[in-house]
A = this chain, B = another copy of it.
């Protein structure tokens, strides 16, 4: 009874790594998690499937098109496309059980049916932290975010990166002043692209939405205010704009920058950048983007901001919040492409125990002794020639092979071979443990 053979394949746009890459990917996840937990963020794991009416309560056109949506029984279901909407749902549902300010992290897969292309995935990991307040959330939390970003990318092995920071109230205030308030959303969306498309293209797009040339000039001049962080702040203050929103933005960014210093973020890693607006409507105050200084073409590797109201679609209550997100699948792909992944270990097992002959008793005994000391150890069990066993260790990049032959059996030792240097020495188990710990 022969069954039909189906060609095995994985869907395009879905990351599926070889174990050696998966080890590196998991190391990045572990470090991000470790860094988030170091700041006391609580773990959350929400379902990947939600009711469509919940997920799409606010979603705009692009999201609607990209979403994985289907019916099951009588339910209209969707796969989550980010971790923020599920958080909003969660906070509303559990507002009486959780403690505020609610600090949570979530690391999980999200789904967007974009056109697959190099480094763009339809299933990808997001690593988010958010702090949600009950009606109020002090501005100092906005200064804690850059310190988490700083610590996280440090933990990942990076130092040459800059966190760009801005406050949307400054821009909004200016637009109020210029009588362009009703076009703010459009203008911000256009300005946000200045790094990508350049000044001229931005001007053209602003013209298209009927903004007069002189006002366009003012906007451009404004976002190009330069100098050090403090100089920019001073120049802004010297504009003497007496708009309430504007002044509140200035006050906030000043406080955030001061506290960021207290939080230990070095000045060279933080830049007050008036060109950062973030495309999404819902940011209302501080916004962040992070760039690797030597690889700015990778785009922002960690972004986020402050929002006044997380969950307006689900409740009359106000939950202000601030958060950041790392799109890890894409970041991993990019870092891998430019060879920037810091490898700490390349294998799971630290040592492969092999027997010269078929008998495995001693090999298993040695392995158990090593595992009892928390040294990840594999026994080569399949009956193969010794050469194949070494080849296996090599392919898996296992750094040590412990060989047990007649001599070693007699002496109650193993011969430990360093697979990188080729050095080998006959050692007692206790000495092996000491060496590998």
**Residues of A in contact with B (beta carbons under 8 Å apart):** 3-11, 14-19, 22-23, 25-26, 37-51, 53-54, 57-58, 68-73, 75, 77, 88-90, 92-94, 97-101, 103-104, 109, 111, 113, 122-123, 133, 136-138, 140-141, 144, 151, 259, 262-264, 311-316, 348-349, 352, 360-361, 364-365, 368, 371, 374, 376-379, 381-383, 392, 395-396, 398
CA of A141 to CA of B381, assembled, Å: 7
A346–B108 Cα distance when bound, in Å, is: 22
Partner of A22, one of B5, B16, B43: B43
Cα distance, A383 to B138, chains bound together (Å): 7
A376 contact set on B, CB distance < 8 A:
37-40
Which residue in B5, B6, B262, B395 is a CB contact (below 8 Å) of A361? Answer: B262
If A43-B19, A381-B138 touch, does A11 touch B75 (CB 8 Å cutoff)? yes
- Whether the pair B38, A19 counts as a contact (CB closer than 8 A) is no
| Docked CA distance A361–B49 (Å) | 43
Cβ 8 A contact of A101, one of B37, B54, B381: B381
List, in ascending order, chain B residues with CB within 8 A of A97's CB.
18
Q: Which residue of B lies closest to A20 (CB)?
A: B42
Q: How far is the CB of A123 from the nearest CB of chain B, in Å?
A: 5
Q: In the complex, A57→B9 CA distance in Å?
A: 13
27 contacting pairs across A/B (C-beta < 8 A): A8-B89, A8-B314, A8-B315, A9-B51, A11-B77, A16-B90, A18-B94, A19-B43, A19-B44, A19-B104, A22-B45, A26-B43, A26-B45, A38-B371, A38-B376, A39-B378, A40-B398, A47-B123, A48-B48, A68-B70, A99-B395, A100-B382, A101-B382, A138-B382, A144-B379, A262-B361, A263-B364
Closest Cβ of chain B: how far from A433's Cβ, in Å?
14
Q: In the bound complex, do residue A16 and residue B314 qualify as a contact, i.e. CB atoms below 8 Å apart?
A: no
- Given contact pairs A100-B382, A141-B381, enumerate 19 new A-B contacts (beta carbons under 8 Å): A3-B312, A5-B314, A8-B311, A8-B314, A8-B315, A11-B50, A19-B44, A25-B45, A38-B374, A39-B371, A39-B377, A40-B376, A42-B348, A43-B348, A99-B395, A99-B396, A137-B382, A140-B360, A141-B382
**Copies of this chain in the oligomer:** 2
Residues of B near A383 (CB, < 8 A) are: 138
Are B43 and A103 in contact, with the CB atoms below 8 A? no
From residue A49, how far is it (CB to closest CB) to chain B in Å? 6
Residues of B within 8 A of A352 (CB): 40
Closest to A351 in B: B40
A359 to chain B, nearest CB (A): 10
User: Which of A42, A43, A73, A100 neighbours the largest number of chain B CB atoms within 10 Å of its CB?
Assistant: A42
A122 contacts across to B, CB distance below 8 A: 49
| Interface pair A40/B368, CB less than 8 Å apart | no
B residues near A264, Cβ cutoff 8 Å: 364, 368
Whether B113 contacts A48 by the Cβ 8 Å rule is no
B382 adjacent to A133 (CB under 8 Å): yes
Chain B residues contacting A38 (CB-CB under 8 Å) are 371, 374, 376-377
Distance in angstroms between the alpha carbons of A205 and B262 in the assembled complex = 74
Residue on B with the closest CB to A67?
B72
Q: Complex Cα distance A8/B310, Å?
A: 13
Asked whether A5 lies within 8 Å of B94 as measured between CB atoms, the reply is no
Question: Which 4 pairs from chain A and chain B are nearest by CB?
Answer: A40-B378, A70-B70, A40-B349, A19-B42
B residues near A398, Cβ cutoff 8 Å: 40
Closest to A353 in B: B40
Q: Are B45 and A68 in contact (CB under 8 A)?
A: no
* Cα distance A49–B10 in the bound complex, in angstroms: 9
List of B residues within 8 angstroms of A123 by Cβ? 47-49
**Chain B positions within 8 Å of A37 at CB level:** 348, 376
